[in-house]
Homo-oligomer: A and B are copies of this chain.
Amino acid sequence: MSDEFESVEKSLQKHLPEHELVEVRRILYGKQLRTLELPEDAVQEATRKDFELAGYGFDAEREEVRSPRVVRVGAIQNKIVIPTDAPVLEQIESLHKRITEIIAVGAKCGVNIICMQEAWTMPFAFCTREKHPWCQFAESAEEGPTTKLLQELAKKYNMVIISPILERDDNHGEILANTAVVISNTGAYLGKSRKNHIPRVGDFNESTYYMEGNTGHRVFQTQFGKIAINICYGRHHPPNWMMYGVNGAEIVFNPSATVGGLSEPMWPIEARNAAIANSYFTCAINRVGTEVFPNEFSSADGKPAHKDFGHFYGSSYVAGPDGSRTPGLSRTRDGLLVAEMDLNLCRQVKDRWGFRMTQRLDMYARELSEAIKPDYVPDVVKEK
């Protein structure tokens, strides 16, 4: 891993003269965000547990008619802890332990809503196409051991927890789903939201394991704001982001698992574009490290079979509705990114830019309804 580049932001910070750094930052990252002062015991604990801890604040104007609605969001990125050929229950336990440690630091930092990476209780094994043993990582969204553990933590820390797991749905034919479970800060199970768009790209046809989500674009009203979850590949689909906004989301989480060779130049673009286009905050979370699997597999790219498919580049970040964004977490280390945000900024940006007013949803409802017809003829102008 030591040959992996650590981060763009650190490179700019190190080499650019101060006055150019200010301009480059403004153009690439938007309005300079406040750096959060995080509690000393949290910082020490993160060092002891060997993960990066960083915090930034998005401010909003003071309003006369609403009080500020300041919340702290936590994004966790992490490597798997033990090898992928260890017993399934031990792998799950090792990740439970690791995430419990990181959530505890989040609690010290006053985090109100925390989210883990996609399928966080397991290695991202879908590249193997093997059903055994990976399907055994699936569990009930409503009452699986992972949900139970997090319900305790949620209540203990008064924290909303978003837990993206591989779900086993016993009520519907024991199918699998790629699902984010939302647990209220009271400890109650609040609901679940499934991955709407399933990749067939690179190493993945995830429909080997689960199909397109059927939970639509629901939004969860929590004590700390209205949140939604757009899982991984859904970030490539702007209407997916849009519908969460239409339903009123103020923060949309994008728990992901994606590697450098495939998607890295797209990563800083997509979740941030969604924040801009929909006047809400987005929180892009990617796992980190290289996962080596027991059996070799091929990648349909003419290359020899191999046991890993590349480096998960982390780089988790939070983007604001005003075009600003935090630096990314490291490309190589576990990390917790804490973002403080005044949710009033969402409506303020709506009032300023007016995208919701000018978006002409009626036109798109009409045009899409036409476009999906089997006999649709695109509007193409040709020279006579």
Cα–Cα, bound, A48→B175 (Å): 68
Q: At the interface, yes or no: A27 with Cβ under 8 Å from chain B?
A: yes
A-B contact pairs, 14 of them (CB 8 A): A8-B24, A11-B16, A11-B20, A27-B268, A31-B265, A188-B384, A201-B354, A226-B380, A233-B358, A238-B239, A263-B323, A270-B273, A270-B277, A365-B365
The proximity string for A residues 129-166 relative to B, scoring 1 for CB distances below 8 Å and 0 otherwise, is 00000000000000000000000000000000000000
Q: Which residues of chain B are within 8 angstroms of A88 by Cβ–Cβ distance?
A: none
> Which 7 A-B pairs rank lowest in CB-CB distance, beginning with the nearest?
A238-B238, A30-B265, A273-B273, A365-B368, A247-B378, A5-B23, A265-B323
| B372 with A365: CB separation less than 8 A | yes
| B24 with A378: CB separation less than 8 A | no
Q: At the interface, yes or no: A83 with Cβ under 8 Å from chain B?
A: no
**Contact among B190, B371, B384 for A365, CB-based, below 8 A:** B371
The proximity string for A residues 336-378 relative to B, scoring 1 for CB distances below 8 Å and 0 otherwise, is 0000000000000000111101111111110111011000001
Nearest Cβ in chain B — how far from A38, in angstroms? Answer: 25
Cα–Cα, bound, A118→B364 (Å): 24
Q: At the interface, yes or no: A221 with Cβ under 8 Å from chain B?
A: yes
**Contact among B27, B243, B352 for A265, CB-based, below 8 A:** B27
| A378 with B246: CB separation less than 8 A | yes
Q: At the interface, yes or no: A72 with Cβ under 8 Å from chain B?
A: no
| B16 with A379: CB separation less than 8 A | no
| A368 with B358: CB separation less than 8 A | no
Nearest Cβ in chain B — how far from A225, in angstroms? Answer: 12
| A381 with B28: CB separation less than 8 A | no
Nearest Cβ in chain B — how far from A129, in angstroms? Answer: 17
The proximity string for A residues 175-192 relative to B, scoring 1 for CB distances below 8 Å and 0 otherwise, is 000000010101010110
Cα–Cα, bound, A248→B377 (Å): 10
Nearest Cβ in chain B — how far from A198, in angstroms? Answer: 7
Q: At the interface, yes or no: A326 with Cβ under 8 Å from chain B?
A: no
Q: At the interface, yes or no: A304 with Cβ under 8 Å from chain B?
A: no
Known contacts A24-B11, A27-B265, A218-B379: does B369 contact A369 (CB below 8 Å)? yes
> How extensive is the interface on chain A, given as a class?
35 or more
Q: Which residues of chain B are within 8 angstroms of A186 by Cβ–Cβ distance?
A: 383
Cα–Cα, bound, A237→B364 (Å): 11
**Contact among B233, B242, B324 for A239, CB-based, below 8 A:** B242
Q: At the interface, yes or no: A89 with Cβ under 8 Å from chain B?
A: no
| A381 with B236: CB separation less than 8 A | no
Q: At the interface, yes or no: A266 with Cβ under 8 Å from chain B?
A: yes
Q: At the interface, yes or no: A286 with Cβ under 8 Å from chain B?
A: no
**Contact among B237, B363, B383 for A277, CB-based, below 8 A:** B237
Cα–Cα, bound, A16→B233 (Å): 32
**Contact among B15, B17, B269, B352 for A17, CB-based, below 8 A:** B15
Q: Which residues of chain B are within 8 angstroms of A190 by Cβ–Cβ distance?
A: 381, 383
| A264 with B354: CB separation less than 8 A | no
Nearest Cβ in chain B — how far from A210, in angstroms? Answer: 14
Give chain A interface residues in 266-316, CB to chain B under 8 Å.
Answer: 266-270, 272-273, 276-277
| B270 with A266: CB separation less than 8 A | no
| A379 with B28: CB separation less than 8 A | no
Q: Which residues of chain B are within 8 angstroms of A222 by Cβ–Cβ distance?
A: 383
Q: Which residues of chain B are within 8 angstroms of A120 by Cβ–Cβ distance?
A: none
| B379 with A219: CB separation less than 8 A | yes
Q: Which residues of chain B are within 8 angstroms of A27 by Cβ–Cβ distance?
A: 5, 8, 264-265, 267-268
Q: At the interface, yes or no: A79 with Cβ under 8 Å from chain B?
A: no
Cα–Cα, bound, A273→B382 (Å): 28
Q: At the interface, yes or no: A196 with Cβ under 8 Å from chain B?
A: yes
| A28 with B198: CB separation less than 8 A | no
